[in-house]
Amino acid sequence: MNVLRNRGFRWISLMVGLVAIIALTAMNVLSLYDLRDRMVEGDEERRTDQLDEINDTIRNQVLDPLRGLGQIELEPIEESLRQSGQLPDNILEVLERSSKSPYFTGIYFTPDNTDPCLEESTVYKYDPTQNGIAPTNNYPNLVCDGVGIARTKTRIQLNDFNYRWNNNWEFDTHRSLNLGLINLSESRMIGVLTLTLNDDYIVNEVLPPYLKNYFGTSSETGIVVWVRDWTNDKILATNDSTITYDRDLVDHSMGFSGSGFLDNWSLYIGFLESPVTNAYNANLFKNLVVLSVAMLFLTGAFIFIFVTAQRERDLAQRQASFLANVTHELKTPLAVMQAAGENISDGRVTETRRLKQYGEHIYNESIRLRGMIEKLLDVAKVDSGQNMSKASPCKPHDLLSSYLSENQKYIEEKGFEVHFTSHDEEALAMIDHDNFETIVSNLTENAIKYSTDEKYIEYQISSNSDDVFFSITDHGIGIPKRAQKNIFDKFYRVEDSDSLSTKIKGHGLGLSIVNNMVEMNGGDIEVKSSVDKGTTFIVRFPKLMKEEVSADTINTVDTNSSLNKKINKHTEYVG
């Protein structure tokens, strides 16, 4: 119950952990995209603001010479004109300054009682050489337009009770700047100053360097800017003449000036593949890669910890049940030996036949006990790393033949048909004899244990250019596919309720010992098995080339070795 609850809890923890990792990753990915978008937007906003800056700068430069006009009293203008035909000095000062500005081509003054739209009207023109105004009826048409606009708009302003400036300026689109001059105390107009604009200068001299400095070429900044006269559908200026104006390329547009200045001009900005955006994208990509790798590691570590914990838990469980079994297994032969010994020592058994029977019991049980203790010692040695293999060049064919000459009869007595095929009697490998014997005897022990009706064991030796193979095949109960990857784990047994092997005694140590010994000799082991058909274990050892060994170093098998005796006992233990 507790185990089940723990297992459920572990799975829930794993799921929660994985969901947390996924949520964390998703959150990070979203915020990385968000960060990239905000940076790109921030950059685009900054660029759009730069267009505003250009607007403001040009407007300020246009209006700059007229600054200070607001503080001048304008009432004396009419008196001065009547008396001397001139404007007052302080006004002439402003006009002189304005005449030097490259933004203007001419300066005109139209008194309020003059209608410049009528033919033969006389207005005043400022002459910079005289620093004064002179009457003229030769003036451009746009004076008529400018004065008209300025008068209309200034009168509207004057109707506003709160208007308290002495002038009001208006642009006639990109053609003229007009200042309605006001007599504030009488709340009426004095006249209009018209400054004709030099739009060629703005288009050819002012805009190109500004656009170039702020935006470079589109290949440098990924930005294209156009100044367009939308009434005439004409591109006036651009930072990159190689790119033709296209409405679809425009991301933002704005009037050239927010206050009536050149208001039929528009500024367009388009963001192409910008190097800045590319850099942000590259940065985003880099961050995503780092994040993915980190998350993969985290998930990997998480799953690794989970799987390891699961394995540790299984091992602990197997170890616990092994301990219980082994204690039982050790007690049984001891109890038999104790009872037999007691009967003999009490003198209760005197009959020779029964004495022999008791002696055989004690002998068999002691061998069984010894076999078991030896197996446990093998595991303990492998675990503690004490099992030092003393590998020497030898022929697996000879080792196997020697094993069979000792054990074949015994195996056949158990009812087994034994076959031995050798495809390469001369193949050499570096193997420790004792280890090889343990490997063969453990695999034989299993073939015997896990065979039921069809008692058949086949041994084979074969080789290819690199390896020597030893295999053992039985026609026994077989091993289910899903269990095959675990059978070499210590204490692992196939113990399904529907599996026959559950009923066969064992401790799950034999194959773990075999696996360790094969590895210690530089080889590996694989299993091929189908349930109810049989099992083949194939052991591979690296082949030793003949030229690498001199004949006298090849070990022949000592059939009287202590190990062969051990195998006999071992096999008896199996029985």
In the complex, the residues that contact ligand ADP under the rule CB under 6 A are 446-447, 450, 474, 476-479, 487, 492-494, 501, 506-512, 535
- Indicate the residue among 463 and 535 with the shorter CB distance to ligand ADP: 535
**What Cα–Cα distance (Å) separates residue 22 from each residue in 15, 34, 288, 304, 352?**
10, 18, 14, 17, 80
Dihedral over alpha carbons 79, 83, 84, 90 (to 10 degrees): -30
Chain centroid to CA 286: how far?
A: 9
Query: What are the residues facing 254 on neighbouring strands?
Result: 267
**What Cα–Cα distance (Å) separates residue 369 from each residue in 364, 374, 395, 453, 534?**
9, 9, 33, 28, 30
Give the residue among 281, 224, 221 at the shortest CA–CA distance from 249: 224
Q: How far is the CB of 517 from ligand ADP (least distance, A)?
A: 13
Measured distance CA(283)–CA(121) in Å, rounded? 69
Give the residue among 160, 220, 205, 208 at the shortest CA–CA distance from 184: 160
Measured distance CA(11)–CA(323) in Å, rounded? 28
- Indicate the residue among 257 and 446 with the shorter CB distance to ligand ADP: 446
CA atoms within 13 A on the CB side of 253: 17
Measured distance CA(227)–CA(250) in Å, rounded? 12
Q: How far is the CB of 470 from ligand ADP (least distance, A)?
A: 15
Q: Which position has the token pair 């000592």?
A: 558
- Indicate the residue among 116 and 371 with the shorter CB distance to ligand ADP: 371
Give the residue among 477, 429, 428 at the shortest CA–CA distance from 456: 477
Q: How far is the CB of 382 from ligand ADP (least distance, A)?
A: 13
195 — phi, psi (to 5°)? -110, 115
Q: How far is the CB of 361 from ligand ADP (least distance, A)?
A: 24
- For 543, the enclosing helix (H) or strand (E) is strand 534-544
Angle between helices 510-520 and 352-384 (to 10 degrees): 50
- Indicate the residue among 116 and 476 with the shorter CB distance to ligand ADP: 476
What token pair was written down for 369? 């006990």
Q: How far is the CB of 422 from ligand ADP (least distance, A)?
A: 21
Q: How far is the CB of 313 from ligand ADP (least distance, A)?
A: 19
- Indicate the residue among 75 and 524 with the shorter CB distance to ligand ADP: 524
Q: How far is the CB of 399 from ligand ADP (least distance, A)?
A: 20
- Indicate the residue among 55 and 444 with the shorter CB distance to ligand ADP: 444
Q: How far is the CB of 521 from ligand ADP (least distance, A)?
A: 18
Encode burial over 84-119: b for 16+ CB neighbours within 10 A, e otherwise: eebbbeebbebbbebbebebbebbbbbbbebebeee
On whether the CB atoms of residues 570 and 441 are closer than 8 A, the answer is yes
Q: How far is the CB of 376 from ligand ADP (least distance, A)?
A: 12
266 — phi, psi (to 5°)? -125, 150
Measured distance CA(557)–CA(113) in Å, rounded? 138
Q: How far is the CB of 389 from ligand ADP (least distance, A)?
A: 20
Measured distance CA(276)–CA(285) in Å, rounded? 14
Q: How far is the CB of 391 from ligand ADP (least distance, A)?
A: 23
Q: How far is the CB of 467 from ligand ADP (least distance, A)?
A: 22
Q: Provide the terminal-to-terminal Cα distance of the chain, rounded to the nearest Å.
A: 38
Measured distance CA(364)–CA(386) in Å, rounded? 29
- Indicate the residue among 245 and 410 with the shorter CB distance to ligand ADP: 410
Q: Which position has the token pair 């790798």?
A: 293
Measured distance CA(180)–CA(172) in Å, rounded? 13
Q: How far is the CB of 494 from ligand ADP (least distance, A)?
A: 3
Measured distance CA(554)–CA(546) in Å, rounded? 10
| DSSP code at position 464 | -
- Indicate the residue among 196 and 535 with the shorter CB distance to ligand ADP: 535
* DSSP reduced 3-state for 46: helix
Measured distance CA(425)–CA(401) in Å, rounded? 10
Q: How far is the CB of 320 from ligand ADP (least distance, A)?
A: 16
